[in-house]
Amino acid sequence: MRSSGSVAANFIEANESFSRNDFSHRVKICRKEAKESILWLKLIDVNEPQALKRDSLIQEATELMKIFGAILEKLKNTN
């Protein structure tokens, strides 16, 4: 739960950043926290009905991780 909340909090901080480097650093943290969320979700042992919800959350965290990666790639290519 904590790592997933950190993704949102760090993205808010990224949007309020003062420099391009600060923005990039915060987005990297967002990507890292999304990866951590995936890890914790995969470690949860749940019964079948809850497994569908967990898998949905893993998919969402994976998509966020890819979005943050794309943002970082675009920043790198515009330097």
pTM (predicted TM-score): 0.86
CATH number at residue 46: 1.20.1440.60
Residue 76: per-residue pLDDT: 92
For 44, the domain range is: 2-77
Residue 61: per-residue pLDDT: 95
Q: Which parts of the chain have pLDDT scores under 50?
A: none
Number of domains in the chain: 1
Residues 8, 20: Cα–Cα separation, whole Å = 19
Q: Cβ contacts of residue 62 below 8 Å, gap of 6+?
A: 34, 38
Residues 44, 54: Cα–Cα separation, whole Å = 8
Q: Where are the alpha helices (DSSP H) in 16-47?
A: 20-43
Residues 57, 53: Cα–Cα separation, whole Å = 6
